[in-house]
Amino acid sequence: MTVKVIVFDFDGTIADTLDALIAVINRLAAEFKYKQASRADIEQLKNLSSREIIKDSGVSLLKIPFLLRKVKIELAHEVPRIHPFLGMKEVLTQLRSQGNKLGIITSNSKPNVMTILQKNDAQDLFEFVYAETTLFGKHRVINKFLRKESLTPEEVVYVGDETRDIEAAKKSQIKVIAVTWGFNSKQVLAAQNPDFLIDRPEELIEVIERLQQRDLYPPKA
């Protein structure tokens, strides 16, 4: 069945938000009683899964939703410093020109995402933006999207940079392309067995073409 929709994570996949997130997280450290993180600390955290990072932070699970909400609010002040990864806009433009429907499912807020897209003249590349409310609820948003658009899992592919993106895609039974230019390290992503693992935005075009080719010419029994 032909892939009809490519769904992207936003932070760390489309937009380089790492420095902005570090600044926000460190500003909130005293309020939520965790230690501030240096760039070296972040490099170490890249080798942990999303769930391991939460555990390592020492922040109560009950406080995570409040922390996430505050991070989204604070990120709005960092928008001027956030840009797409080098080459990403060009890749998205080509994918769209080839007839692919593009969308975003993110843990960030929709206003933040739309402001960043508009600032970089990329808002017209996407047909939808869904914002989730929890760190590990992305599969529920994906499932809701599939139902709303009357799509089967085989018609959708997900692109993300964290282990929780792979986890969500697998729960929704859709193919997942993990990217190594975002937060989690290549080794940690590979351990989660994504369908594809790529190092450069340009590789997205090749992977999508391979998926479409596979649909056009399925393996013979």
Is residue 199 part of the annotated active site? The answer reads no
What's the gap between Cα 198 and its chain centre? Answer: 14
**Tokens representing residue 190 in the block:** 């590979």
Per the rule left: phi > 0, alpha: psi between -120 and 50, beta: everything else, 8 is beta
Residue matched to tokens 């997280």: 25
- Exactly one of 9, 11, 16, 165 is catalytic; name it: 9
Q: Are 79 and 32 in contact, with CB atoms under 8 Å apart?
A: no
Q: Count the neighbouring beta carbons within 10 Å of the beta carbon of residue 116.
A: 25
**Catalytic center residues:** 9
